[in-house]
Amino acid sequence: MEVRRTVPVKLNVDSDDPALLHETVAEFLWAANYVVDHAWQGEYKTTSKAQLQEETYDEVRDRTRLHANLVQNARNKAADAVQSAVARWKQGEYAGKPHFSNPTAVYDKRCATFHDEYVSLATVDGRIEVEYALPNADRDTPHSRYLFNDDYEVTGAELHHRDGEWFLHLRTKAEVESDTLDQATTGHSTVLGVDLGVNQLAVTSTGVFWSGDEFDHWRREYEKRRGSLQQCGSRYAHENIQAVGRTETGRFKMMLHRIANGIIEEATENGCTVIAFEELTGIRDR
């Protein structure tokens, strides 16, 4: 069975390199949105990657400084988004025109070289080498289980910028035997791995993650409301505390339902037939 895992790795970026990465990401997003705009013209949306390659590649190459393979990866990202929108229409669901704004860029082995402790990335002005900020290899982390594991091969990555830091979500895969999954899923099944945690409520092996920031924000808000009502001590306050609790439970159920649907959608879009959850210990402590 083929198993895929994504390992987020913080990058130690030299002082001269952030500007290059920002420019590269900006041009990558421009390229992806340009392809979406082209695909979205007319009544029938263009979803063929080969057709979009033929119709947009030269123009994007002329108008950006991107490595040729970054141009192709931007096209693929755009085509996947348009395909997803069209698929939703066929299911009777609403889907608007995709637009990319989150600071990310997609790399593969043609525009990045992945080493044990650093990576060489293509930018709008040649290549740069960036070191990984790695945890101790002896600790039980996703890095030790997948990145430091010779059974797993790095196949590509997605560059992210958030909170002033640069991260590389390294995609890995391995052929493994499974003793726990149903025998019907063995063979050529593809597994979507999902790590559950605190800072990131869920991180899929395709690199999609759901932050715990919103969860923490509302938990603090409801705690403040309960604390304020408890100081009153009246029957009215007690009834309102119970109402706050019901509202809190309803909101969190809605958030978790949204995340669950997102995970299922991610599995469907990537052709995964199995969803495997990991790191479940202590998740209820939230």
pLDDT recorded at residue 280: 44
SS3 199: coil
Chain centroid to Cα 241, Å, comes to 37
Cβ neighbourhood burial of 107 (10 Å; 0-12, 13-18, 19+): buried
pLDDT recorded at residue 235: 72
Q: 209-230: string of b/e by CB count within 10 Å (b at 16+)?
A: bbebeebeeeeeebeebbeebe
Identify whether the C-beta of residue 216 lies closer than 8 Å to the C-beta of residue 251.
no
pLDDT in tens, 219-249: 788 788 778 777 777 776 667 777 777 877 8
- Within 10 angstroms of residue 110's Cβ, the number of other Cβ atoms is 14
Render 8-73 in DSSP notation, one character per residue.
EEEEE--TTSHHHHHHHHHHHHHHHHHHHHHHTSSSSPP--HHHHHHHHHHHHHHH----HHHHHH
pLDDT in tens, 173-191: 888 776 544 443 444 456 6
pLDDT recorded at residue 270: 64
Nearest alpha-carbon partner for 66 in 94, 121, 28: 28
What does the mean pLDDT of the chain come to?
A: 84
pTM of the model: 0.68
Report the chain's C-alpha Rg in angstroms. Answer: 22
- Within 10 angstroms of residue 122's Cβ, the number of other Cβ atoms is 20
Question: How many Å apart are CA 255 and CA 194, to the nearest integer?
Answer: 17
DSSP letter assigned to residue 166 = E
The ranges of the chain with pLDDT < 70 are 178-191, 198-199, 205-207, 236-238, 269-271, 278-286
Question: How many Å apart are CA 151 and CA 174, to the nearest integer?
Answer: 6
Torsion (CA) 83, 86, 91, 92 in degrees, nearest 10: 150
pLDDT in tens, 52-71: 999 999 999 999 999 999 99
